[in-house]
Amino acid sequence: MTTNENTSVARSSSLGGKAYLALGILLVAACLRAAITAVGPLIGDIRLSTGLSNTLVGMLTTLPLIAFAILSPLAPRVARRYGIEAILLASLIALTVGIIVRSLPTAAALFVGTAVLGSAIAFGNVLLPGLIKRDFSHRVGVMTGAYSVSMNGWAALASGVSVPLAHGLGFGWQGALGCWALLSLIALVLWVPQAFAKRRANAGQSAVGASSGGLWRSRLAWQVTLFMGLQSLGFYVSITWLPEVLHDRGLTIAQAGWLLSLMQFVSLPTTFAVPVLAGRRASQRGLAVIITLLCLIGYTGLLSSRGALVPLWIVLLGLGQGGSISLALTLFALRSRNAQQAAELSGMAQSLGYLLAAVGPTLLGYLHDATRDWTIPIVILIAVTVIQLFAGLGAGRNAYVSSGSGA
C-alpha cells in the first residue's frame, strides 16, 4: 500500500470509515446546484419585482459560471496549502452566507449574493473529483455517479418546488431562494468533523500533491475541457430559460417549472449509470455519442413541437444532460494518472468550460429580447450540441493527459 493510500485510510478511519466520508461527499454535492437551479422558474417573478431585463436576469445564472471560471484554477493550489476538507468547509460557510444575502430585498444584494454563492460552489466543483480520485480510486465510477445523482437530484427538487414555495406557501421569490441556506447549513455542520479531524496533519500533501503542470499543452485536456464547457452551456441555458420557453408556448409558469424539474429528475438514471459504465471501459466514445445524440434530439424536438410531445423532448433532453455532466466529471479521473492531475484537469476544464458556458444564458436572453422569439436561441443550442459530439469523441478516447503537445 502506498504512502498516500495509508494516509487516506488513516484519515478515513479516524472519522468512522469511508462510509462517513462518502456521506459527506454526497451532502456537499447536494449543495452544488440547488441554489442555482431554483432561480429559473422564478425568473418571471424576479423580473416583475425588480424591473430587470431578460439580459440582466440571465446574469443570475451567468454570475456563478463566471465565478467558476475565475476560481476553478485556484482551487487545487489552495487545497494543497490548507487541505481539501478545510476548503470545502469554508466554501459551505460562504455558500450559506451568499444564499442569505441573495434573498435580501434589494437588486444589489441579489447580484452580490449570487456572486458569493457562485464563488463558494466553484471550489466544491473542482475539489470533489480530486477527493474521489484520492480516497475512492478503485470506485471512481460508482462514487462519481453517486455524487452526480445527489447534485442533480437536489437541483431537480429545487426547480420543482420554487414556484410552490413562492406562491403556494407565500414565501415570495426571496423566501423560495433563501430556504436553500438550510440545506447548505446542514451539510456544513455534518462536514465539520472532516475539516477538523485530528489526523489531518500535512493535509496539503495528502490531499493533492505537488503541481504537475503542463495540461495547457495537452490536446486531450482541451478536448475534455470543450466537452465540459459545451454540455454546461446547454444545461445552464436550459435551467435558466426553459421555463420561459415553455411558458411562451402556452404552459403555466408552474407547469413549466415542473417540466424543468422533470428534466432533471429523469436525468438521474443516466447520471448514475454513465459513470459506472465509463469506469468499466477503456474508451468512453460510444457513451459520449449516445448521450449527446439524446440532447440533440431533445433540442430539435423543442424547436419543432408545441403540443403533447413536449414532455418527450424534455425527457430525452434530461437523459442526455444527466449523462453528459456525469461523464464530464468522470473524465477528470479517467483521463488523469493521479489525484493531483485529476484536480488540475478539473480546474482547467471547469475554468474554461464554465467561461464558455457563462456566455449562454445572457447571450440567449439577449437574442430573445431582440427577436421576441426562441427559435434562434434553440438553433444555437443545436449547433453547440453538434460540436459537443465531436469533442466527446476526442475526450472519450483511451489515453491520459500529458504535459506535452500530444495526448
Query: Is 1 a residue whose pLDDT tops 60?
Result: no
SS3 state at 208: coil
Query: Is 345 a residue whose pLDDT tops 70?
Result: yes
For 176-199, the pLDDT digits (tens) are: 999 999 999 999 999 998 887 744
CA angle 387, 220, 298 (to 5 degrees): 25
CATH superfamily, domain 3-395, is: MFS general substrate transporter like domains (1.20.1250.20)
**Range of lowest pLDDT (59-73, 103-117, 367-381):** 59-73
pLDDT at 346: 86
Contact status, residue 103 vs residue 178, Cβ threshold 8 Å: yes
Rounded mean pLDDT, 132-160: 86
What is the secondary structure of 286-348 as a DSSP string?
Answer: HHHHHHHHHHHHHHHHHHH--STTHHHHHHHHHHHHHHHHHHHHHHHHHT-SSHHHHHHHHHH
For 246-296, the pLDDT digits (tens) are: 888 778 877 887 888 788 789 889 999 999 999 888 899 999 999 999 999
Query: Is 397 a residue whose pLDDT tops 70?
Result: yes
Contact status, residue 369 vs residue 53, Cβ threshold 8 Å: yes
- Rounded percentage of the chain residues whose pLDDT exceeds 90: 39
**Rounded-to-integer distance, Cα 270 and Cα 146, Å:** 11
pLDDT at 52: 82
Rounded mean pLDDT, 112-123: 94
Q: What is the pTM of this model?
A: 0.79
pLDDT at 208: 46
pLDDT at 114: 94
pLDDT at 403: 56
**Rounded-to-integer distance, Cα 254 and Cα 212, Å:** 49
SS3 state at 168: helix
CA angle 252, 253, 257 (to 5 degrees): 120
pLDDT at 113: 95
Q: CB neighbours (10 Å) of residue 46?
A: 20
What's the chain's average pLDDT?
Answer: 85
Question: Regarding predicted confidence, which is higher, 49 or 389?
Answer: 389
Query: Is 10 a residue whose pLDDT tops 90?
Result: no
pLDDT at 177: 94
Q: CB neighbours (10 Å) of residue 256?
A: 25
Query: Is 14 a residue whose pLDDT tops 50?
Result: no
